[in-house]
C-alpha cells in the first residue's frame, strides 16, 4: 500500500509505501496477567493513544534525518497502532506503518524490539506511576526512576562499565567521526555505551563501539538509548540502540542517565547538551556529592576547541571556577579520553565496593528536588527564571538548566513549538553579564548550525538584559 502526502496547499508531495500487519511482543510483554493485558489495552485506546501513536511512529522511522517532531506524522498521516488482548499476552496491530521498518514484508527485529519498548514503557508509566503521591519527594522520584529502569530490564548487576555519552544531534562530519573514534577506544576497553538514542553524537559512539566490541569478541553488549515522549519524535532512535527506555519527562531521563552512568563524556552539541552539562554540574556542586567519584570529560576534535572554550568561560562566569574543576576538557585525543574514562570507572568500582553501593544504580548520588521536578516551559515561567549572581551555584545551575530546557522545547518539542507559534519567542531575563554571555553562547550555536539539522533556524527565545 502507498500513502500520498500533501502540502498545506493541497499539492501532492510524495508517495510513501506502507504496510499493515500485526506482531507479537517478546520479553517484557509476553508473560502478562489478564488484568495487566486489559489495562495495557485500555491505555492504548484511551488518552494515551495519540502519545503511543507518535512514539511508535518515531521508532518505525528509526534512522530518520529529520528533527521536526511533526514530520513523520505528516509523511504517514494514516498510521495507527492498537494493542489487542490475546489468550497468552498481547498482539500489536499496525495500520499503514512505514515500509522502511520492514524487509520482504517482515518487520526488522531491532525495530520490533524498539516498538515493544515503547508499548512497555508508556503502559508502565500509565499503570504504575499514575496517581503516585510519592512523586512529590526526592526519594519517591528516585524510586520511580529505579522502577522504570528495572521494568525496562537495563539494570544489570555486573562490573561497572557503562559510559553515558552526551552531545548534539546536529553536528558536522569532523565531530561525528571523532565521536566514533572515542566510541571505538571505549569499546576496546570493554565499556558499553548509553546515549540519548538519536543521531549525531548519540549515534557515533555506539557505532564506533560496535566495531571494537566485535574485535574483542564481546557478545553481551549494551547500547542503551534513554529518551522521553516529548523528544523521541524529533530524535528517533538510531539503528544501533538495542535497549530503548522512554522516561516520562526530561528530568527523570536526566536522572536515569546519572544514576546508571559510571562516567560521562560530553561531545559538542547545542542547547540540549548545555542543559545536560548544567544538570550534571548542579548535582556535583551539591555538598553531599563532594566525596563521590564520577569521571566527567568534555571532548571533541581540534575544530571543537573554541566551542569548549566558550562553554568553559560561560560556566566560570555563572557558577565559578570551582564548577570548572569538576570536569576535564580533552581535545583531539580519543585514546586519552578512553584511558581516563577507563581509569575513572575502575575508581568508581572501588568506591562502590567500599560504600557497599550497587554497581548498576547510584543510590548514593544526591539529586536535589529542584533538579527532579518536571519543568514545563511556558512564557511566564521562562521569564521568571532567577538568573542572577548571589545565588548558590547549584541553585543557579538549576535555573540555567531550565532556561536551556525551555529552548530545547521551543526548538524540537511539539508542545513547545505550538507555544512559540501562538505567543512568540520565550523571553529570558537576568543580570547583564550573564545575559551577554548567554546570548553569545546561543548565537554561536546558531552560527555553527547546532540548533537544527536542516533549514534556517528561527530563534524561539529572546535574551533580555
- The three cell numbers locating residue 370: 529542584
69, 414 contact by CB (below 8 A): yes
* pLDDT score for 24: 85
List the domain boundaries for the chain.
2-123, 153-367, 370-464
pLDDT at 313 over 90: yes
d(Cα 199, Cα 168) in Å, to the nearest integer? 8
Coil vs helix vs strand at 63: coil
Specify the pLDDT at position 8: 42
Query: Is the model's pLDDT at 210 over the cut of 70?
Result: yes
- Over residues 431-443, the mean pLDDT reads 94
Contacts 24+ apart (CB under 8 A), 381-387: 381/406, 382/406, 382/426, 382/427, 382/428, 382/461, 383/426, 383/427, 383/428, 383/429, 385/428, 385/429, 385/430, 386/430, 387/428, 387/429, 387/430, 387/431, 387/434, 387/435, 387/438
Paired strand residues for 4: 15
Contact in structure between 242 and 116 (CB atoms under 8 Å):
no
Question: Each residue of 279-307: pLDDT tens digit?
Answer: 999 999 999 999 999 999 999 999 999 99
pLDDT band at 10 (very low <50, low <70, confident <90, very high): very low
Q: Does residue 320 register a pLDDT over 90?
A: yes
**Residue 185: HSE in the Cβ half-sphere, 13 Å Cα cutoff:** 16
* Overall average pLDDT of the 21-33 stretch: 70
Question: For residue 100, what pLDDT band results from cuts at 50, 70 and 90?
Answer: very high
Angle at 29 between CA 27 and CA 33, to 5 degrees: 125
Give mean pLDDT, residues 124-153: 88
This prediction's pTM: 0.91
What average pLDDT does this structure show over 146-159? 93
DSSP-derived secondary structure for 173-219: HHHHHHHHHHHHHHHHTT-EEEE-SSSGGGTHHHHHHHHHHHHTT--
Decide which of 48 and 158 is more confident.
158
Residue 270: Cβ-neighbour burial (10 angstroms; 0-12, 13-18, 19+): buried
Residue whose C-alpha is closest to residue 226's, from 293, 136, 182, 165: 165
In Å, how far are 52, 187, 341 from 214, measured between CA atoms? 35, 9, 20
Q: Across all residues in the chain, what is the average pLDDT?
A: 89
Of 368, 365, 364, 298, nearest in space to 326 by CA: 298
∠ CA 329-333-334, rounded to 5°: 100
Question: Which secondary structure element, helix H or strand E, spans residue 95, and what is its range?
Answer: strand 89-98
Q: What's the pLDDT tens digit per position in 238-250? A: 999 999 999 999 9
Q: Which residues on adjacent β-strands are paired with residue 98?
A: 18
* CATH architecture for residues 2-123: 2-Layer Sandwich (3.30)
Strand partners, 164: 194, 264
CATH class assigned to 153-367 = alpha beta
| Rounded Cα distance, 306 and 289, in Å | 30
Q: What percent of the chain has pLDDT over 90?
A: 72
> Which phi and psi (to 5°) does residue 223 adopt?
-120, 90
pLDDT in tens, 322-343: 999 999 999 999 999 999 999 9
pLDDT at 123: 80
- d(CA 97, CA 107) in angstroms, rounded, equals 10
Supply the pLDDT for residue 52: 87
Confidence at residue 126, expressed as pLDDT on a 0 to 100 scale: 78
Q: Find the mean pLDDT for residues 151-176.
A: 94
C-alpha 129/C-alpha 246 separation (Å) is 14
38-63: pLDDT as tens digits: 665 665 655 678 888 889 999 999 87
Q: At what angle do helices 305-319 and 393-412 cross, to 10 degrees?
A: 130
Q: Give residue 33's pLDDT.
A: 60
Amino acid at each position: 500500500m502507498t500513502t500520498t502526502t500533501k502540502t498545506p496547499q493541497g499539492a501532492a508531495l510524495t508517495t510513501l509505501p506502507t504496510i499493515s500487519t500485526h506482531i507479537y511482543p517478546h520479553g517484557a510483554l509476553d508473560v502478562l496477567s489478564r488484568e495487566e493485558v486489559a489495562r495495557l489495552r485500555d491505555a492504548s485506546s484511551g488518552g494515551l493513544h495519540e502519545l503511543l501513536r507518535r512514539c511508535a511512529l518515531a521508532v518505525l522511522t528509526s534512522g530518520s534525518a529529520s528533527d521536526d517532531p511533526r514530520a513523520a506524522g505528516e509523511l504517514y498521516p494514516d498510521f495507527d497502532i492498537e494493542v489487542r488482548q490475546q489468550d497468552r499476552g498481547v498482539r500489536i496491530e499496525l495500520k499503514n506503518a512505514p515500509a522502511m521498518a520492514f524487509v520482504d514484508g517482515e518487520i526488522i527485529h531491532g525495530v520490533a524490539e524498539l516498538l515493544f519498548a515503547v508499548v512497555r514503557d508508556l503502559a508502565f508509566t500509565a499503570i504504575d506511576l499514575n496517581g503516585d503521591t510519592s512523586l512529590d519527594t526526592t526519594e519517591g522520584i528516585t524510586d520511580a526512576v529505579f522502577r522504570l529502569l528495572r521494568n525496562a530490564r537495563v539494570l544489570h548487576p555486573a562490573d561497572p562499565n557503562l559510559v553515558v555519552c552526551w552531545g548534539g544531534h546536529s553536528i558536522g562530519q569532523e565531530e561525528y567521526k571523532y565521536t566514533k573514534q572515542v566510541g571505538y577506544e571505549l569499546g576496546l576497553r570493554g565499556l558499553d555505551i548509553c546515549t540519548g538514542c538519536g543521531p549525531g553524537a548519540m549515534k557515533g559512539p555506539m557505532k564506533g563501539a560496535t566495531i571494537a566490541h566485535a574485535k574483542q569478541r564481546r557478545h553481551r553488549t549494551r547500547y542503551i538509548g534513554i529518551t522521553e515522549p516529548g523528544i523521541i519524535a524529533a530524535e528517533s532512535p538510531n539503528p544501533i540502540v538495542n535497549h530503548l527506555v522512554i522516561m516520562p519527562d526530561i528530568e527523570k531521563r536526566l536522572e536515569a542517565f546519572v544514576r546508571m552512568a559510571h562516567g560521562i563524556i560530553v561531545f559538542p552539541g547545542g542547547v540540549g547538551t548545555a542543559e545536560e552539562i548544567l544538570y550534571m554540574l548542579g548535582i556535583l556542586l551539591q555538598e553531599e556529592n563532594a566525596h563521590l567519584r564520577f569521571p566527567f570529560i568534555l571532548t571533541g576534535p581540534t575544530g571543537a576547541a573554541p566551542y569548549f572554550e566558550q562553554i568553559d568561560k560561560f560556566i566560570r562566569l555563572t557558577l565559578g571556577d570551582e564548577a570548572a574543576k569538576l570536569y576535564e576538557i580533552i581535545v583531539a585525543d580519543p585514546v586519552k579520553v578512553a584511558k581516563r574514562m577507563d581509569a575513572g570507572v575502575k575508581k568508581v568500582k572501588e568506591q562502590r565496593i567500599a560504600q557497599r553501593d550497587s554497581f548498576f544504580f547510584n543510590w548514593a548520588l544526591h539529586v536535589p528536588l529542584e533538579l527532579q521536578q518536571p519543568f514545563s516551559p511556558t512564557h511566564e515561567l521562562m521569564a521568571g527564571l532567577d538568573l542572577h549572581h548571589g545565588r548558590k551555584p547549584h541553585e543557579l545551575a538549576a535555573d540555567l538548566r531550565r532556561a536551556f530546557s525551555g529552548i530545547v522545547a521551543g526548538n524540537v518539542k511539539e508542545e513547545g513549538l505550538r507555544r512559540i507559534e501562538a505567543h512568540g519567542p520565550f523571553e529570558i531575563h537576568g543580570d547583564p553579564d550573564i545575559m551577554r554571555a548567554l546570548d553569545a553562547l546561543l548565537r554561536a550555536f546558531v552560527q555553527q548550525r547546532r540548533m537544527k539539522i536542516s533549514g534556517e533556524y528561527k530563534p524561539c527565545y529572546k535574551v533580555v538584559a
